[in-house]
Amino acid sequence: MSRIAVLCSGGVDSSVALMRLAEEGAHDLTAFYLKIWLEDEMAFLGSCPWEEDLEYVRQVCDRAAVPLEIVSLQREYLETVVAYALDELRAGLTPSPDVMCNRMIKFGAFIDRVGDRFDFVASGHHARVGVRNGLARLFRAADAHKDQTYFLCQMRQDQVARSLFPIGDLTKAQVREEARRHGLSSADRPDSQGICFLGRVPFDDFVRHHLGERPGEILEASTGKVLGTHRGTWFHTIGQRRGLGLGGGPWYVVAKDQESNTITVVHADQLADRARRCFRVPLPHWIAEPPGRSHIGVKIRHGQRMDPCEVVVDDDGGLSVELVGVDDPGIAPGQFAALYEDDECLGGGVME
C-alpha cells in the first residue's frame, strides 16, 4: 500500500485528485494544506482566503475520510519564492514565482519536511507522469488549455519520480463533473488566479509594499517622445498592455531601462515590428534527458500555445532558441521557456 501525501488547496482540482485516490482504496492517504507567510503578514493589503480555503479542504477530507494536516512553510516561502520574485523585479526582470513555488516549496520544502513519511506526493496539477528508459517523465495534460507543465518545468528528476497528478487525464469539464458526482462544494468554485503566494492580494499592492514607487517617464519607441509617467519599472513587463494609463492606445511595453528609470512603448500598429524570434537559455534544466533532436516545441508563458523552435547548444552549454515561423513581441528577460518533445516537457530555463 503506497503512502501518499495529497496537497489540497480547497480548489476543485485538488479536491477531485484526493477523491480519485480515495476511491481507488489502495493507498494510505494524508491530506495537507500548506500555509504560507503572506496570508498573515500581508492580510492588510487584501482579502486573504486561507480560512475559506481551509474550510473547503476540511469538507473534502471529511467526504473522503482522509486525515488532514496543516503545514506552515511561511519562512521557506519568504526565503525562496518571495525573495526570488523581489530580486528579479529589482533587477528589471520578469519573475515566474509559480515555477519556483513548485520546485522550491510544493515539491521541495514540503517533501523535506514530511518526505520520510510518504512514498509519493499528489497534487491537483493538470499534468501527467510516465517512465521511459528508467527515468520519470513529465507530460502535458489531457486538457491542453489547462495544462500546467509550464509551471512544473523546473522540477528535478527525483521530484517528478515521487509525484502523482491524478487528474492529468481529465479535462476541466470532467473534473467539475466528478466533483458534482461526489457532492463537493468546490465543484463550481472559480479557479484561483494570480501568483501562488499572493492569494487575493493585488500584485501591484504587493510590489508597492516591498519596493515602493519610483516614478519615471514612459517613452514612445519611434520618436522618443514622453507620453506619460510610470510609478516604477517593476510594475510592468515586456508585452504588457494594461495599466499604462495612456490615451490613444492600445500601447505595449517593449523595453525597460533600470538606469534611466524609463519604460518604452509602441502603439499596437507598430507592435509587430518589435517582435523577436531568438533568445538564449543560458542554464537549461532537463527533467530527464536533453532533447534528441534540434526541432522541438517551446512555451514562453503559461497557456495552450506552444510554438515550434530550433535549439542549438552553445559552446558554454547554454541554448540558443529560434522560434520557427512565428515572432513574439512578449519575450521578456527573466521569464521561463519550457521546452517540449511532442507531449513531454523536457524542462527549460530562464530566457535572456
Q: Which pLDDT value is given to residue 48?
A: 54
Residue 326: left (phi > 0), alpha (psi -120 to 50), or beta? Answer: beta
**What digits encode the pLDDT tens for the residues 257-283?**
999 999 999 999 999 988 899 999 999
H or E stretch covering 266:
strand 262-267
What's the mean per-residue pLDDT of the chain? Answer: 92
- Measured CA to CA, the distance from residue 140 to residue 131 in angstroms comes to 14
Over residues 172-201, mean pLDDT: 82
Over residues 47-75, mean pLDDT: 88
Whether residue 309 lies in the annotated active site:
no
Q: Which pLDDT value is given to residue 224?
A: 93
Q: Comparing C-alpha atoms, which of 209, 206, 183 is closest to residue 196?
A: 206
Q: Which pLDDT value is given to residue 101?
A: 93
Confidence check: pLDDT of 349 > 70: yes
Least confident segment among 33-37, 39-43, 53-57, 128-132: 39-43
**What digits encode the pLDDT tens for the residues 64-94?**
999 999 999 988 988 999 999 999 999 999 9
Whether residue 48 lies in the annotated active site:
no
Confidence check: pLDDT of 219 > 70: yes
Between strands 285-286 and 163-164, the pairing is unpaired
Q: Which pLDDT value is given to residue 189?
A: 87
Rg (CA), the chain: 21
Q: Which pLDDT value is given to residue 346?
A: 98
- Measured CA to CA, the distance from residue 1 to residue 230 in angstroms comes to 57
**What digits encode the pLDDT tens for the residues 221-242?**
999 999 999 999 999 999 998 8
- Measured CA to CA, the distance from residue 336 to residue 349 in angstroms comes to 5
**pTM of the predicted model over 0.75:** yes
3-state helix, strand, coil in the chain (%, to 5): 30, 30, 40
The per-residue b/e assignment along 293-310, b for 16 or more CB within 10 angstroms, e otherwise, is eeebbbbbbbeeebbebb
User: Which ranges of 25-80 does DSSP label H, i.e. alpha helix?
Assistant: 38-41, 50-64, 74-77
Over residues 28-50, mean pLDDT: 71
CB contact at 8 A, 261 and 227: no
Over residues 295-321, mean pLDDT: 94
Confidence check: pLDDT of 244 > 80: yes
Q: Which of 8, 48, 61, 101 is catalytic?
A: 101
Q: Which of 61, 153, 196, 345 is catalytic?
A: 196
Q: Which pLDDT value is given to residue 200?
A: 61
